[in-house]
Amino acid sequence: MQKLKPNHIPAKGWKGGFLKKNPEMNYTTPNLGSLDFNDNLHKIQNIKRQQRVLWPEFTWETKKGQKDPKRCFQMFAPDISRVGYDNTGQSWSIICPQQGTFIPGVGTFNVEVTVKGQKGWVDEANKSLAVDMIVKPKIWFSPAANESAYGKLLWSIFELNNLGYCFPSEKTKAIELNTYQTTSQKTTTITLRDGLFMEGDLPPFTIHKEAWSHANVEVEIGEIDLNHSDLVNEFNTIMMKAFNIGSGNMLQQGNILAWNVWFDAPSIVNRKEWENHADVWRRSIDVDHCSPDGPGTDPRFADGSIFNVEKELFAEVINEIKKFIKKHL
């Protein structure tokens, strides 16, 4: 495992100028409407510089809608996420965060907030940025889960029904969720902006004063994509329930998932490393459930106490899995 080395001094080569040519994209109310969304992987050749998210701090409510919603905080693995841009400041690609959640009796679910498209700018001179994204959380089994007793039985059901191509054994077959800026408007454009979510009311363990700059993202979790057969839709609904039990309802429909991204200083991009970065991280979590750059933190409440899942909830979802297996085998 590599030792994480933060950058404290920006790399040479910054020119700027993108904002000067596009004055409507100002600092206070950035309007990125004149830009087209770029596929997140198609413009890597344009990237010259990057800012690494060394401290991706996520927060959500574990008991949404209750009198005490039990807000949880968790730092995902360091340096999985990055924003990449050219020397003038135009943003061309964002590497998305990933995490794993363990379900007793089944194994580990991987979750990735996949960026489907992005556009925007970075201004190093003011330690500022504005990026719009379209994102979809994806959930799939790690290889160990595929080899568990329940995993094998579930896979066999898909194979017997000629649905092996739908079993979420890898990212390309993942269960997908929709996300919105607000569900009332059904706006799918998610914004990365300056400032902090819950600024002034954050637990001390989520604040990283050693960071070069910071920004925040806030999304409302939408519905599961139910574009498959009844069997697959039934299975995906049960698996999402299992994931949300294990993660404290992180991706519960209607929940707000927010994260503060704490950057180190800008550095020069190695394009080959950029292209391989997410795959290297994903292979690491698949093999040994750890990050190449060190682990994240356990989910915690604001007082620092660790979030623990009630065993009864795990038993409930395992019972649902058993019923599904009995029904379809």
Domain contains 7: no
Cα 257 to Cα 74, 154, 216, distances in angstroms: 11, 29, 11
Q: What CA–CA distance (Å, rounded) separates 110 from 143?
A: 10
Instruction: List the domain range (segments joined by +) for residue 96.
Output: 18-328
Domain contains 112: yes
Domain contains 13: no
What pairing do the DSSP bridges indicate for beta strands 71-75 and 267-268?
unpaired
Domain contains 10: no
**Bridge partner list, 52:** 82
Domain contains 284: yes
Q: Which of 52, 44, 77, 83 is nearest to 282 (CA)?
A: 77
Q: Is the pTM of this model over 0.85?
A: yes
Return the pLDDT at 278: 58
Listed as ranges, residues in the chain with pLDDT below 50 are 1, 284-285, 287-293
Residues 6+ apart with CB under 8 A from 50: 82, 83, 84, 85, 266, 267, 268, 269, 274
Q: Which two tokens stand for residue 293?
A: 């750059």
Name the E strands within 233-310: 256-263, 267-268, 300-301
Number of domains, the chain = 1
Domain contains 86: yes
Return the pLDDT at 145: 78
Domain contains 69: yes
pLDDT, tens digit, 9 for 90 and up, residues 132-175:
999 989 999 888 777 888 999 999 999 999 999 999 988 889 99
Q: What CA–CA distance (Å, rounded) separates 240 from 249?
A: 9
Return the pLDDT at 303: 96
Return the pLDDT at 78: 86
Domain contains 286: yes
